[in-house]
Structure 1
């Protein structure tokens, strides 16, 4: 990790540690808004509102404690240079993008490692696993090397490990890497930790109780995956850009779940996946096409519709085995009045022998 990477890591550390200040500002804003309404309205709303603010404050502080635990552990696992980033950080207001990533990380924990996220995982993770299990027999799965790029907090990789496959997760985001490091290595029992992901979800809320509700994680403890000294399959994580870390790699299966729309040029991903796969290798994709760089004027971005993508998949040389649409939500608050729904593109294909 060079000095530029230390600086980039420090920005991530700072954003996590700023959560407490962010929360206090949000709470102060709630108080100030209350003071601006007519006195008679303050009296009618006041008592329950004041109690809610006390509850939000308590849960915000709890969340902050968990985030500190995650970052302190994650920095320690990423070595001396990451610890340097932890030591040199000076608390300051992060960019809106970085603060948004902290909040989305909390939601991602809910999605991948709590029972609250079961419906989302069942919708898009389970079909991938089920299709792979129809292709590969249990007794040979430890020989099947699977890459999961953009693996987030590692749940898909963990579930595939539990099915007997040898899996490598790949992730670029340091927000995700530090948090997944904590979950995969530091969590010793199921539902060991509690978070309150929805305390600032004030719109589309049915009740204060819904905003305050907790989630526990991890719903499945990675330490229960089995004795690594006796099991035949293996698990590893690789940090970095997908195109760079796979330059000289090969796999039997590549699983892209909610990933291909992170490309600047999705054709590069398609060609790289083809290159990395062994003959007869399988690629399974599931996710929408919410292109991450579409509105970023400083980044190049080509946004292709699904029909063009599947055409390019075939022209690259893949034989398409299966295509369908799958409806799924993504990091939603299930008690909210607003429920965004994606119609995800699911396809599987094989690289010819």
Structure 2
């Protein structure tokens, strides 16, 4: 399992971030990486301050007789604050482990020397960066706990079934079946695709996600070795304090041990696994990536596009002719109403800026289907609304509030150029064939 900053390689721990592009050599990229480091460093402090410290202040602001009553059993509010603080510390241990392995991978000192009191990567994180660190830690519930299995199955099982149906004899082939997973997050979908015998390459632009996935895939010592309290920082819609302080153990399966076990079974076939750290649109539209992958699996991903046309261009470019694109996910457009843009938007070097280029548009599902067909794909399967399973996203199953998705699931096949109803390039626009 290796990580790289441009294209997949087989390097290990110390070189796991090696590649054609050095993020420490680019000032804008270095700033974003340092902000991610700093946000994990600040997890403990910010979680205590924003969760229990301010609640203690508000609690003691109640009339004295009131807070004293609520401090006693069966309420024991102050005792609960202490338990939440303990849970925060356990979550912060994970954040610190991610930080430590990330710094080590880049050869960056974790502690100041005698002459310096501040390290070069300190004081970069904004409140947005810290929020990303908090959500990343919580996401381990969905991707790497036994309790998150239901959410994973709703999204990953349709992809695995589609790959199995498309490539039933993959283990008899001399060449690997290559599957690209854009927006791979914490790497569980990539891991499961590899476990099914495919060569999977994950792609992720977020350093928060990349640092966390590198830790869980490459640096955890065994299954269920780390305590996580995914809902401890939330105080609303609770049935009980036990619900708030529910503990899960991560990872539910150990990636390294699982791979070793598979190697000992002749009929098992664990595929090669890699991750690329790059802007999906920029990297997979490059000439080196043309007609590279047998399949692309987008899982809760396409709605991260400010301009979906750019994503479709990249997917079509890197897919082999007749390759399949499998999608599962909603259309919660991330850039609606001018939300925060990618960190690449401020580097204008005249090249494709990928997700950071200006402009955005939100499409309906019907319009998405039409666009896909217009851009060189044939949709072969579309799941009806009635067929769709509901699922949450890092959702407490016992919460009084249950926001649920009914994710869209479809499979599209890349038409051969001779079969395509349109011929298009990013520079020339779209030309209808006559």
Shift of 1:89: 2.8
Shift of 1:96: 3.0
Match runs of 1:11-90 below 5 Å: 11-25=35-49, 26-47=51-72, 48-77=76-105, 79-80=106-107, 87-90=119-122
* 1: CA distance, partners of 2:178 / 2:294: 5
Contact 1:146 1:252 in 2 (8 A): yes
Contact 1:6 1:84 in 2 (8 A): no
Q: TM-score, normalised by structure 2?
A: 0.76
SS at match of 1:75: helix
Shift of 1:239: 0.5
Is 1:345 the counterpart of 2:408? The answer is yes
Structure 2 segments unaligned to the other structure (5+ residues): 1-22, 113-117, 342-357, 417-434
1:334 corresponds in structure 2 to 397
Structure in which a larger fraction of residues adopt helix:
1
* 2: CA distance, partners of 1:232 / 1:209: 39
2:224 corresponds in structure 1 to 191
SS at match of 1:226: helix
SS at match of 1:343: coil
C-alpha RMSD over aligned residues: 2.2
**Higher Cα radius of gyration:** 2
Shift of 1:62: 1.9
Shift of 1:273: 0.9
Is 1:236 the counterpart of 2:274? The answer is yes
* 1: CA distance, partners of 2:366 / 2:256: 42
* 1: CA distance, partners of 2:263 / 2:71: 59
User: Which piece of structure 1 moves more, 193-202 or 95-104?
Assistant: 95-104
Q: TM-score, normalised by structure 1?
A: 0.93
* 2: CA distance, partners of 1:288 / 1:56: 33
* 1: CA distance, partners of 2:198 / 2:235: 42
* 1: CA distance, partners of 2:101 / 2:168: 38
Aligned length: 351
* 1: CA distance, partners of 2:110 / 2:32: 13
Deviations 1:55-113 (A, max 9, x none): 11112122212211111112222x23697999423357x43322221121022111000
Counterpart pick for 1:125 among 150, 156, 160: 156
